């Protein structure tokens, strides 16, 4: 013990203070020895100067070093286990410093320095100061240790820095450098300032790295299951791999870059996020990886979030930011199973050929979508745009695939454009709530059981369109393509604008419906509408053109509230119907087969075909207009009906009306010299009837007019036999030929055996041989016929006026007959 204030110097080869005490009051105390042992000892310096200790080896287990001023220790090896070092200022320099369970404390506010060129072991120990602390070493072991300063802390280890369950904390700024930094369950903290960390490798298993201001970390690789938190901005730069199962947050901007990033489902990466998890008003998140970028946990930003990598995988994540940008430079962008939400823009970039945006089972909601992708997989996913800006998902690859199988694409934008090589919406939904245009472009559109809904116009441009059992609804519809299969499907236009379906190969609408409230134009070389419906409601017009075949059989229905125009190579309407609230026009270059079918119009109806088959219950009808049926070949109405509330004009290459019905106002028939077969049929006009035919067979049939009737067979025979057979089938109605006014006949031979011909007016004309055996010729006025001969055995020729029968050189046989 020295009580005086003079400087004290002890220099020796070896100084052993085991269990001893060296206490001086001198201004300065200097101890120098080869080996200095202070095990359980005390070295106390009460002076205001410097306590300087120099030794090759300093053994100080459980010892105490106390200085009232500065304390400077220099040794090659310093064993400070369970020991205490206390001074106003501390400077320790050693090759190896073992401070396990030891304490190094600086009370003053000047800088404290602890240097250990080879190794500093502070396991369970403490290095604390009220001033700045600088710790430099080769290897730092701070397992359960504590390095702390009320001001700045600077820790540097050229090799390993082990802070397992340890604490390194600065009241202001923290600067830390190391080779491999292991912060497992540890704490690295800049409580009142910035933290700057540099290392080859960071292991932060359940550790905490916090800066109240900026946190800047530069590392070769990072494995984090703990937290990295910045009260202001964070910059994390990793030249190798970043593996994150923990938290990387900043209350301000957060910038992360690495060669590769893998952030697990339990992770959180965020910017503008407070410590309690609530959001600031701003904060930009930027994550960049040269190779793969995976973020499968939470990705949050109060401001914008931009993630860029060789490929970007947010599969299973929950991501939210003011705006979000996902960019894959060489690979894919995946939001599979993820929830991605932004009130602003979501920008997806994976535009090179072969690149894909994979949103399988993902849930996307954005104020604005901006997508650049080679392919899009939205199987069972949801992509929603809430904002009104135009939306375009136009795949950059010509052969790109947009797969929305079981998925949903719904936008509120004014216009929506989807463009792909193949667009698949099987069991999916495409919904456009905007008032503009929904545009779909694809070489192949697969929409089986899908739903396409547009609040404005829908424009579909595709090669092959599969719309089987699907539903499409829009205010206006335009479809252009090669083939459309709408079997069991529904295409509905709600608005009154024009509807256009233009196909270069075929339309299959079997069991399907194409309906519109506007004028509708459907064009396809081959159109199969068996059991289907083609409709234009209200007063809208409908035009259907099939240059090859229009097949409307088996319950097919074509209906227009206005005019209907049908154009076809062949029109097959067996068991089908085509109706018009206005006029109906059917132009068929080859055959019209309406057996058991119906063509009907409220107004005029015009049929033009090479041949017409209206047999077996077929109906051609005009409610109140003109019915015109023209065929270059034969028209067959056997068992069919041609009916009009107005006139009927029939022009053909022969007409067969066996058991059929032709009924109208004025009826005109011109078979162009070919036969007219009315066997057991009915041809009736409430007005005039003009028949220009070849051979006319009215066996058991009825030809009737309310006005004048003209029959001209152009020298061919007239068969008007067996009138009673008609009455059998039509009780109360007589068969034969009946005119409500005059009747003019120009025929070849006339067979009226068992027949009936009657007129309310004059009966005139020229016929060949008349066979009236058992027949009746009755008139309420005069009769004047030129004929080549008459057989009237058992027949009757009676008129109320004059009779003129000029047989020329022929004979008249009236055995048991009556002529008067």
pLDDT in tens, 132-143: 999 999 999 999
How confident is the model over 169-178, as pLDDT tens digits? 999 999 999 9
Which two structure tokens, joined as six digits, stand for 710? 């003209």
User: How big is the chain by its Cα radius of gyration, in Å?
Assistant: 52
Contact 580, 607 (CB under 8 A): no
Place of tokens 């009455």: 727
Confidence at 456, pLDDT banded by 50, 70, 90: very high
Distance between start and end Cα atoms, the chain: 177
- As a whole number, the mean pLDDT across the chain is 96
Determine contact, residues 709/744, Cβ cutoff 8 Å: yes
Q: Is the pLDDT of residue 539 over 70?
A: yes
> What integer is the mean pLDDT of 50-56?
96
Per-residue pLDDT at 818: 94
Token pair 């500065």 is at which residue? 70
pLDDT score at 26: 87
Q: Which residues lie below 8 Å from residue 784, measured CB to CB, with a gap of 6+?
A: 762, 763, 764, 802, 803, 804
* CB-count burial class (<10 Å; 0-12, 13-18, 19+) for 87: buried
CA separation for the pair 376, 552 (Å, rounded):
39
Task: List the helix and strand counts (H, then E) for the chain.
Answer: 1, 93
Rounded Cα distance, 377 and 315, in Å: 13
* pLDDT on residue 1: 63
For the stretch 404-417, pLDDT in tens is 999 999 999 999 99
β strands within 686-787, DSSP E:
689-692, 696-697, 702-705, 709-712, 718-719, 736-739, 743-746, 750-751, 756-759, 763-766, 769-771, 776-779, 783-786
pLDDT at 276: 87
Q: Per-residue pLDDT for 5 more than 80?
A: no
pLDDT of residue 809: 82
Which pTM value belongs to this model?
0.86
- Give the pLDDT score at 2: 64
- Reference 336, options 300, 301, 378; nearest CA is 378
The confidence score (pLDDT) of residue 3 equals 62
Question: Are the CB atoms for 712 and 696 separated by under 8 Å?
Answer: no
3-state SS, residue 715 = coil
Each residue's pLDDT tens digit, 648-680: 999 999 999 999 999 999 999 999 999 999 999
Residue 739 to residue 757: CA distance in whole angstroms: 8
Give the E-state strand segments of 553-675 in sequence order: 557-560, 564-572, 577-580, 584-588, 591-593, 598-601, 605-609, 611-613, 619-622, 627-631, 635-636, 641-644, 648-651, 655-656, 661-664, 667-670
Q: What is the mean pLDDT of residues 564-574?
A: 98
Sign of the alpha-carbon torsion through 543, 546, 550, 556: negative
For residue range 154-207, what is the model confidence (pLDDT) as tens digits?
999 999 999 999 999 999 999 999 999 999 999 999 999 999 999 999 999 999
Kindly state the average pLDDT of the residues 210-235: 98
* pLDDT number for residue 732: 82
DSSP category for residue 741: S
State phi, psi for 724 to the nearest 5 degrees: -65, -25
Buried b (16+ CB within 10 A) or exposed e, 501-514: bbbeebbbbbbbbb
* 66-80 tens-digit pLDDT: 999 999 999 999 999
User: What mean pLDDT comes out for the span 607-633?
Assistant: 97
Q: What pLDDT is recorded for position 53?
A: 96
**Cα 769 to Cα 677: distance, rounded to the nearest angstrom:** 20
* Backbone φ, ψ for residue 726 (5° rounding): -65, -40
| Arithmetic mean of pLDDT, 620-637 | 97
pLDDT tens column, 693-723: 999 999 999 999 999 999 999 999 999 999 9
pLDDT greater than 80 at residue 805: yes
Mean pLDDT of 99-113: 97
């Amino acid at each position: 013990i020295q009580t005086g204030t003079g400087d004290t110097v002890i220099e020796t080869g070896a100084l052993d203070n085991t269990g001893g005490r060296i206490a001086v009051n001198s201004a300065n105390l200097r101890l120098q020895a080869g080996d200095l042992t202070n095990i359980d000892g005390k070295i106390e310096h009460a002076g205001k100067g410097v306590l300087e200790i120099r030794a090759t080896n300093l053994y100080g287990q459980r010892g105490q070093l106390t200085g009232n001023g500065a304390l400077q220790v220099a040794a090659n090896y310093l064993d400070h286990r369970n020991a205490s070092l206390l001074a106003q200022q501390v400077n320790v320099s050693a090759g190896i410093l073992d401070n396990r369970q030891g304490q190094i404390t600086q009370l003053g506010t000047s800088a404290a320095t602890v240097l250990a060129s080879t190794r500093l072991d502070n396991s369970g120990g403490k290095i604390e100061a009220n001033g700045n602390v600088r710790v430099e070493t080769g290897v730092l072991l701070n397992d359960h240790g504590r390095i702390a300063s009320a001001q700045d802390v600077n820790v540097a280890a050229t090799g390993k820095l082990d802070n397992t369950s340890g604490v390194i904390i600065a009241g202001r700024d923290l600067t830390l450098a190391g080779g491999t930094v292991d912060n497992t369950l540890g704490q690295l903290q800049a409580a009142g300032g910035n933290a700057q960390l540099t290392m080859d490798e960071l292991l932060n298993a359940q550790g905490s790295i916090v800066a109240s201001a900026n946190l800047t970390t530069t590392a070769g690789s990072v494995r984090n299951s703990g937290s990295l938190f910045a009260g202001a901005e964070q910059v994390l730069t990793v030249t190798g791999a970043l593996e994150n199962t923990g938290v990387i947050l900043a209350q301000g901007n957060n910038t992360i870059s690495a060669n590769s990033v893998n952030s697990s489902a339990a992770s959180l990466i965020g910017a503008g996020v407070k410590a309690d998890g609530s959001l600031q008003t701003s904060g930009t998140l930027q994550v960049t990886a040269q190779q793969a970028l995976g973020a499968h946990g939470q990705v949050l930003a109060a401001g914008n979030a931009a993630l860029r990598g060789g490929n970007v995988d947010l599969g299973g994540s929950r991501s939210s930011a003011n705006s979000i940008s996902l960019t894959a430079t060489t690979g894919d962008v995946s939001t599979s199973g993820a929830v991605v939400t932004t009130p602003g823009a979501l920008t997806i970039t994976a535009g090179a050929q072969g690149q894909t945006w994979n949103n399988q089972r993902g849930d996307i909601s954005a104020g604005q979508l901006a997508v650049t992708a080679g392919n899009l997989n939205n199987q069972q996913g949801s992509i929603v745009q809430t904002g009104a800006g135009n939306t375009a998902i136009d795949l950059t690859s010509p052969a790109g695939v947009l797969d929305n199988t079981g998925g949903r694409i719904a936008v509120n934008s004014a216009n929506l454009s989807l463009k792909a090589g193949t667009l698949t919406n099987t069991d999916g939904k495409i919904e456009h709530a905007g008032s503009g245009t929904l545009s779909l472009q694809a070489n192949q559109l697969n929409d089986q059981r899908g739903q396409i809904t547009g609040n404005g116009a829908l424009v579909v441009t595709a090669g092959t369109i599969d719309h089987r059992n699907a539903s499409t609804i829009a205010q206006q519809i335009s479809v252009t393509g090669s083939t459309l299969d709408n079997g069991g499907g529904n295409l509905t236009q709600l608005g009154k604008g024009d509807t256009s379906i233009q196909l270069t190969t075929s339309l299959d609408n079997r069991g399907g419906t194409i309906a519109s409230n506007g004028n509708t134009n459907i064009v396809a070389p081959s159109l199969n509408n068996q059991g289907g419906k083609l409709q234009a409601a209200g007063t809208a017009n409908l035009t259907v053109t099939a240059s090859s075949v229009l097949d409307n059989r088996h319950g097919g229905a074509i209906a227009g509230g206005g005019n209907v125009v049908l154009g076809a190579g062949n029109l097959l309407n067996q068991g089908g119907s085509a109706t018009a609230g206005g006029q109906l026009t059917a132009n068929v270059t080859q055959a019209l087969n309406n057996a058991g079918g119906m063509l009907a119009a409220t107004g005029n109806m015009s049929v033009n075909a090479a041949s017409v088959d209206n047999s077996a219950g077929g109906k051609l009808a005009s409610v109140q207009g003109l019915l015109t049926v023209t065929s270059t070949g034969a028209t067959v109405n056997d068992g069919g009906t041609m009916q009009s509330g107005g006139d009927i004009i029939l022009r053909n290459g022969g007409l067969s009306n066996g058991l059929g019905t032709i009924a109208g106002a004025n009826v005109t028939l011109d078979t162009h010299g070919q036969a007219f077969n009315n066997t057991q049929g009915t041809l009736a006009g409430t007005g005039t009837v003009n028949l220009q035919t070849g051979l006319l067979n009215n066996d058991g049939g009825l030809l009737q007019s309310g006005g004048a009737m003209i029959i001209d067979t152009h020298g061919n025979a007239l068969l008007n036999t067996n009138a009673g057979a008609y009455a059998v089938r039509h009780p109360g109605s007589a068969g034969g030929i009946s005119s409500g006014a005059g009747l003019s006949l120009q025929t070849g031979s006339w067979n009226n055996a068992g027949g009936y011909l009657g007129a309310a007016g004059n009966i005139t004309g020229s016929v060949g041989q008349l066979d009236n055996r058992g027949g009746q010729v009755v008139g309420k006025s005069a009769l004047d016929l030129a004929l080549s001969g008459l057989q009237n055995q058992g027949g009757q020729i009676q008129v109320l006026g004059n009779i003129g029968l000029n047989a020329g050189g022929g004979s008249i046989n009236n055995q048991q007959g009556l002529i008067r």
